[in-house]
Amino acid sequence: MKRVAIFVFAAGLALGCAEARAQKLSAADKKYSELANYDESKVPQYTLPDPLVSRDGTRVTDARTWERKRRPEVFAMFETYMFGKAPGRPKAMHFEVKHIDPNALDGRATRKDVEIYFTAGESDPSIKLQVYTPNGVTGPVPMFLGISFMHNCTVTDDPGVAVPEPVAGGRALKRGMMKEAWQLDMILENGYGLATYCYTDIDPDFDDDFQNGIHPLYYTGSQQRPDPDQWGSIAAWAWGMSRAMDYLEKDKDVDSKHVAVIGHSRLGKTAVWAGASDPRFAMVLSGNSGCCGVAISRRMYGETIEAMNVRFPHWFCGNYKQFNNREMLAPFDQHELVALIAPRPIYIASAETDNWSDQKGEFLGGKGAEPVYALYGLKGIGTDTMPGIDEPYADGHIAYHIRKGPHAVLRFDWEQFIKFADLHFRGKK
């Protein structure tokens, strides 16, 4: 009896906390959506930090100096002040291919269900990676590695993928409910593979002061939460993409030299940071990554750093909070995050009605990285004018489009991503 009472009381408390959290969040949502500027004439005057000027004031004029001297400086700024430092590859990490279906999707593909463990024990967080490769091809295939908002069963309607029971209070999952966002059929038809995992495998997406998910596994001594320069949730999700890459490098059906990372929205920010921090990713596809992704923060158009840090305090490291409403004082801006991908190709996808993500800011994030690509003799976006709707600029190493419709990844986006991969991975014009 006593136990039941304690349980009911504890459950009530938990619910109370969740409710209080939801209320706090919706008040902040309202505040920041009311405060958001969508008037181009109110964008403040700003000067972007020059990616090619080193801390000692000297100018970088060649790719070697960029790579040896300036790139590490830029990387360290993003790592220390924004995303936070992540640990390396865990020593005890191991993989288990739990199941292989060589005849998935009516024989069109092979599906592998892989579990990636980070510790010797198997009860700690792990990645459940779902890997599809097309059948009837010769040799290993180039891949898209996507970080997903939902369970792997939502990516495809493959009846072989188990649909889990919803967690208490959670949304019921339907097989294939996110199909449109993943376009697995199109990917396979074009001779590419698709690997996905759900981001919450690494760290649940709410602010609990880093008590659940992957972070506590790395606390040392009496540490209770990451230090101000240590990884937030976005860096943790991106770290997971690198761990998935550790597996892909071992899979003989995968051409691991040609893996493109993709994510949308908060997971677009994640994919861009994964590409910046792990040079094994040969291409980056940013879906509506917006503020703190590829959009220039100094524009303060749509979402701002403060709006982000208040509503999602767990996404970035503690140090990043000092730039709330002080974007002009940050020693970097998001064009330099794009520059960290150079000379690898990046595709920046914006959407027409997604003003919150600041489409022009995303375009300018790509533009601002051009001088770094130029050090390699590579063309970036290649023009100063924003394109028309559904008219991609995609013949350089920095591609950009603004697609008709909402904040999402849709069929049109994938058509462009595949063409972009064909161009850079297969030399197809």
CA angle (341 as vertex; 395, 318 as ends), nearest 5: 140
Instruction: Give yes or no for a contact between 378 and 66, defined as CB atoms under 8 angstroms apart.
Output: no
The CB-of-12 to ligand GCU minimum distance in angstroms stands at: 29
Distance separating alpha carbons of residues 88 and 76, to the nearest angstrom: 15
Shorter beta-carbon distance to ligand GCU: residue 279 or 406: 406
**Site membership for ligand GCU, residue 70 (CB under 6 A):** no
Structure tokens at 33: 């959506």
The CB-of-59 to ligand GCU minimum distance in angstroms stands at: 34
222 classed as catalytic? no
How many chain residues interact with ligand GCU (CB under 6 A)? 7
Distance separating alpha carbons of residues 261 and 250, to the nearest angstrom: 17
Shorter beta-carbon distance to ligand GCU: residue 63 or 178: 178
265 classed as catalytic? yes
Handedness of CA 114, 341, 87, 329 (dihedral sign): negative
Biggest CA–CA distance in the chain, Å, is 75
| Cis-peptide into 343, omega within 30 deg | yes
What binding mask, one character per residue, do residues 306-345 give for ligand GCU by CB under 6 A, x or -? Answer: --x-------------------------------------
Question: By CB under 6 A, what part of segment 247-266 binds ligand GCU?
Answer: 265-266
**Site membership for ligand GCU, residue 303 (CB under 6 A):** yes
Contacts of 218 (CB under 8 A, 6+ apart): 87
The CB-of-147 to ligand GCU minimum distance in angstroms stands at: 11
Distance separating alpha carbons of residues 67 and 26, to the nearest angstrom: 43
The CB-of-337 to ligand GCU minimum distance in angstroms stands at: 14
Shorter beta-carbon distance to ligand GCU: residue 266 or 403: 266
Shorter beta-carbon distance to ligand GCU: residue 144 or 237: 237
Buried residues in 113-133 as b, exposed as e (16+ CB within 10 A): bbbbbbeeeeeebbbebbbbb
Closest residue by Cα to residue 342 from 409, 261, 275: 275
The CB-of-27 to ligand GCU minimum distance in angstroms stands at: 15
List the 193-198 sheet strands across, edge first: 94-103, 109-117, 126-134, 193-198, 141-148, 254-264, 283-287, 346-351, 398-403
Three-state secondary structure call for residue 125: coil
Residue of 142, 213, 232, 290 that binds ligand GCU (CB under 6 A): 290
Closest residue by Cα to residue 266 from 180, 223, 204: 204
The CB-of-31 to ligand GCU minimum distance in angstroms stands at: 13
Distance separating alpha carbons of residues 310 and 127, to the nearest angstrom: 28
The CB-of-135 to ligand GCU minimum distance in angstroms stands at: 34
Structure tokens at 17: 């906390």
Shorter beta-carbon distance to ligand GCU: residue 266 or 299: 266
> Could you say which of 265, 286, 289, 297 is catalytic?
265
**Site membership for ligand GCU, residue 291 (CB under 6 A):** yes
Question: By CB under 6 A, what part of segment 265-284 binds ligand GCU?
Answer: 265-266
Shorter beta-carbon distance to ligand GCU: residue 71 or 299: 299
Shorter beta-carbon distance to ligand GCU: residue 97 or 410: 410
Pairing of strands 109-117, 126-134: antiparallel
What binding mask, one character per residue, do residues 338-367 give for ligand GCU by CB under 6 A, x or -? Answer: ------------------x-----------
241 alpha-carbon distance from chain centroid: 9
What binding mask, one character per residue, do residues 111-130 give for ligand GCU by CB under 6 A, x or -? Answer: --------------------
Q: Where are the beta strands (DSSP E) in 135-224?
A: 141-148, 193-198
AA identity, residue 168 = A
Shorter beta-carbon distance to ligand GCU: residue 32 or 81: 32
- Positions in the binding site for ligand GCU (CB under 6 A): 265-266, 290-291, 303, 308, 356
Catalytic residue positions, numbered? 265, 407
